[in-house]
Structure 1
């Protein structure tokens, strides 16, 4: 019978200490979502639009409300009852031709939307944003594009909805606190 060798006790203590240091350090990482727990409610007024298509503001407002309800712990509230307000305006909407057929008919197009958003704490009137690309008026600029090909049945309406949904996701992503 071969005698089993026991690992040295000092080694086990050093190993346990190392594991506990690694587990406890975590670099300020936390489990769960990254939204500020001090904020309980948000008001999202109808997004204004500086472009000809006025329905874009209503569509973006609805998409933002859905994203906030689905992905954040915040509840939607009236301005009088809300802790914060997410307001914005659509500053640009353009449609560009990416490809044409031999008769100069567009085969593939690109829809681009640009939005300025401001998230304000209504309790302190302070703008909430840790983004590096702030504009001079404390608004955060977002852009989104979507491609579509009319020849294969894709429509401007579909591309618009895709672009608006992408914008809403990006805006809600901005609401997470950085770690």
Structure 2
């Protein structure tokens, strides 16, 4: 056996030992340590996401949030989005508050130069078979900044779009199994 063949055998054995040592630290229950399985609860295959309930005067934000949630669930989870009659689980969302807070003002006009859009929601993810809440959060808030002043002249819709996208990402992250 030449030196090259022995070196490749040794490197393969070392890689196998490293992989075995790494998997030895994994457990099946993510609350007990590192887990090699899915980060989402098992036993759920489908999810229904009805249009969010809007308790604010901000028009049509419920449609934007629901659309963002559906796309985020489809992109980042193993769940299929379906109608309520076929779903294993249900994600209910209520929009509680939409606020605009001026972060800075122009010294010349007094108008807001940087404005923070904050959206506060409640959401509840329920396992329909067990009639048990998987995740429930109240006063879950997302915030995003937009600049309505010149030269950028960003519109409110841009800030609202950004905060809705962020909230959808954050809600889907909350759907992961407990650690």
TM-score class normalised by the smaller sequence = 0.7 to 0.9
RMSD of aligned Cα (Å): 2.2
Preserved CA contact (<8 Å) 2:115 2:145: yes
Q: TM-score, normalised by structure 2?
A: 0.79
Aligned pair count reads: 156
Name which one, 1 or 2, has greater alpha-carbon Rg: 1
SS class of match (1:66): helix
Aligned to 1:146: 144
| Greater percentage in strand | 2
Q: TM-score, normalised by structure 1?
A: 0.79
CA distance in 2, matches of 1:115, 1:169: 13
CA distance in 2, matches of 1:20, 1:164: 42
5 Å-filtered alignment, 1:1-179, equals: 23-26=23-26, 28-31=33-36, 33-101=38-106, 102-129=108-135, 138-151=136-149, 152-179=152-179
Aligned-pair CA distance for 1:167: 0.2
Aligned to 2:14: none
Question: Structure 2: which 5+ runs fail to align?
Answer: 1-16, 28-32
Preserved CA contact (<8 Å) 2:26 2:36: no
Aligned-pair CA distance for 1:115: 0.4
Question: Structure 1: which 5+ runs fail to align?
Answer: 1-16, 130-137
CA distance in 1, matches of 2:116, 2:39: 33
Classify 1:160/1:22 alpha carbon distance in 2 versus 1 (closer, same or farther; 3 Å). closer
The range that moved more, 75-84 or 28-37, is: 28-37
